[in-house]
Structure 1
Amino acid sequence: MSVSSWLQNPQRNALYNLAAVGAVLLGLLLILGARGHFVAVWAQLTDEDTDSLRRVLLILPGAMLAGTAALNLLLCKPLWQARRYALNLTLAGNLLATAYLIYLMIRGVPGHPIGVFLALEMSYVIFLAGIRAGLVWPADEEPTGANIK
């Protein structure tokens, strides 16, 4: 495949489609995680003895999960359409959520499934970073140097 034929007929990167499906699945799992978090802390949130800073700190993990889920679900269609801005926004949002989950993991919150969500987030971030770096699938049909005699 020559450069001129590649420019006229660019190959579709199917990894964007996989990223869109992953965004939907991860978004749904993050919604379940946010719901579980809010159910777990609801009694402390409604307690009148809890000060406002403590309430914000209790809400933050669930809000981070819910916000990342919303971002993933909102950007799944542009990801399917291979929009570069959607890839960049999804990568940035999930990278922020990953950093926050790493912070929670280091801080140590016993009895919470932070590791599961961190593993899911990190896997998705690595996948998005690979697409951002230029990973393409399916690969070029014709290997370079195939016509050399």
Structure 2
Amino acid sequence: MALRKGSLVPNFTATDSQGEQFDSATVFGKQWVVLFFYPKDDTPGCTTQACAFRDRYQDFTDLGAVVIGVSADGVASHLRFQSKYKLPFTLLADTQKKIRTLFGVPKDLLGLVDGRATYVIGPDQKIHFIFDSLSGSGHMERALAFLKSKV
């Protein structure tokens, strides 16, 4: 069952691009979190999406938010992607798609491609905003506008 606006986000663990264990309990329930799901490292739409978050990263941190990207790519792929584009935020390797399934991120293009969605999770650990669009653009802008209206 997909998480919706108002849903309490359960904690999870995953491996980040540095090969370290990430525990969502270290950030969820403590501050605003922007969690964005994307299909694949270093593809045009995903690069657009990730670089948009990179370019406005300071705006998110100024608002007290943590930005985290998630895809099914592995640690080595994430590290290359993060290094190539100088992405300052955490990338989580969801190789078995457990986090994607937990959130209920749908597939796109007739079920052939992992979907793209952005969630803004509040300090109360509830989802306050969801933007679901296959396009790599618009995710950062909508998440930032939402946060500016709340913080």
The TM-score with structure 2 as length reference comes to: 0.26
Q: Which structure shows the bigger proportion of residues in helix conformation? A: 1
What TM-score do you get using the length of structure 1 for normalisation? 0.26
